[in-house]
Amino acid sequence: MLQTVGGPRTVRSPRGVERSCAGWGQEAALRLLMNNLDPEVARDPEHLIVYGGRGKAARDWASFDRIVETLRTLRNDETLLVQSGKPVGVFPTHEEAPRVLISNAVVVPHWATDDEFWDLEARGLTMYGQMTAGSWIYIGTQGVLQGTYETLAALARIEFGSPDLAGRWMLSSGLGEMGGAQPLAVTMLGGAALLVDVDPRALERRLGLRYLDRLAGSLDEALALVQAAARERRAVSIGLRANAADVYPEIVQRGIVPDVVSDQTAAHDLRVGYLPQGLTVEQAAEARARDLPGYLARVNASLATEARAILELQRRGAKAFDYGNSFRARARDAGVADAFAIPGYVPKYIRPLFAVGSGPFRWLALSGEPEDIRRIDRALASEFSENEHLLRWIRLAGERVRFQGLPARICYMGYGERERFGHLVNALVHDGELTAPIAIGRDHHDTGSVASPYRETEAMRDGSDAIADWPVLNALLSVAGGATWVSFHHGGGTGIGNSLHAGLVVVADGTPEADRRIGRVLHNDPGLGVARHADAGYESSRALARTARFRIPGLGDAPSGGPQSP
């Protein structure tokens, strides 16, 4: 659905059971592409920017229009190729092949630098797809919410010996489409949070979506509110309009130590993702246009100031971590030699989940009906009644998460669970218990789909942090399994030159054909994550692989044959 309202067009996904495409695979791609640009979902839809600095859904509006037109004429035995946000070909394949194959921002390694890439982008030759922006599976801030929740829950267990953050408070910055998940994740775990952002629009957006509880007018007020809440074991999140490079050193100067400290600005993209001290959003844009080298020097100085303050808070007892936004790498480049004394969140807290194939799994109701998601919530609670942690999350999400665009849900699920869930959802569609088919996918930030030495693959046991064969194999395996669409990206999350990663979507339309695809794709995808970690020497992965339905040559006896549908 395209609307023009006195200027820039507004894009919203179609709803309901009527299709404009030949099949539900094409229709799902169309709806999720449009959903990524829904004003409720995207950070800057007028410029096709979804989240994460400049992560886009399509290269330009002409490319967007051609993608939409092509999806509406694409046959069930054809595959559309999308090169960095631009449709470049439709080829004959077969009905169980993917309907769309996407590659975003992939450049030859020698040219994989910010300067080279953004020059190519400015010339209209490529596009930064982030992770789920250019793969058409973004679901708003909810998409990172559970990952933040899982990280903080693990932090509470490991650092404080507690199941939650009650009585603790966290200092962090960045309330964009990713960082905006932080305040709600903290309060879901019973803690208090002080979140700093220089952009008033980001603060108001989080308030409107109920991810943030209230704003403070000054640092004095913010600290009084958050410290009182921690003492009283109340869950509350406080937003403060300010620059983190001003606030963090001031907190150090006052001798105040938060329980937890982090940063989730879009530091991977220094041109737009991290604003220097002394400038508003508008002034920063003017300074960039007037003198980019001078502007970037100011950015680096501010980022270094914040990093040194975090390191000092860490020395004084705060539990610090880098949330995978390249903050440490940028700080080191800016002269903070010990920036990597701040641990990364994956090796510190999340790797045990990745090692057993567990990661951020998600699904969207193509009908647009919230009740379809709630029906799946109830079925999931019944099917996975033994998993108390999962059920707690589903209950909290149902109570606290406001849908953005198409109704969706996210949940960490591991090897075996995703496949089991997919068959369950396909049966619900087949039996008419859901209004329309469901698109099932995941973040590219997952167990076996990414090589990112500053985040997902940091500090691998065997030193294989930078080995990027695994995301390539992941994408190829998803194509072989018959995913509805598959994407391969460069740079998402941690920036150009720092990561390669793959994504997928499979559509549950209630048919036996969809059930076969689900059985292959949702078995193989997390299974490769187990295999990747088993290869790196993680014993939990190796133990799981010994009983899995895939085989690792040389590991030992394992059942042969592929996954079977129930």
Query: What is the rounded (10 degree) CA torsion for 488, 494, 498, 501?
Result: -20
DSSP classification of residue 401: P
DSSP classification of residue 495: -
| Angle, helix 244-253 to helix 219-231, in steps of 10 degrees | 60
DSSP 46-66: GGTEEETTTEESSSSHHHHHH
Query: Up-side HSE of residue 262: CA atoms within 13 Å toward CB?
Result: 27
Range 389-398 contact pairs with CB under 8 angstroms and sequence separation of 24 or more: 393/146, 393/149, 396/188, 397/142, 397/145, 397/146, 398/374
551 CA to centre of own chain? 29
Q: Which residues are catalytic?
A: 411
Going 347 to 244 to 198 to 229, the CA torsion angle's sign is positive
Is the CB of residue 315 less than 8 Å from the CB of residue 287? no
DSSP classification of residue 4: E
Is the CB of residue 537 less than 8 Å from the CB of residue 463? no
Distance CA 307, CA 339 (A): 7
Is the CB of residue 164 less than 8 Å from the CB of residue 235? no
Among 409, 392, 424, 391, CA closest to 518: 424
* Type of residue at 284: A
The tokens describing 377, both together, are: 């919530």
499 CA to centre of own chain? 14
Please state the three-class secondary structure of 353-422 as a single string: HHHCCCEEEEEEECCCCHHHHHHHHHHHHHHCCCCHHHHHHHHHHHHHCCCCCCCEEEEEECCCHHHHHH
Give residue 52's region: left, alpha or beta (phi > 0; psi -120 to 50): left
Among 445, 418, 444, 427, CA closest to 363: 418
Q: Which residues pair with 450 in a beta bridge?
A: 501
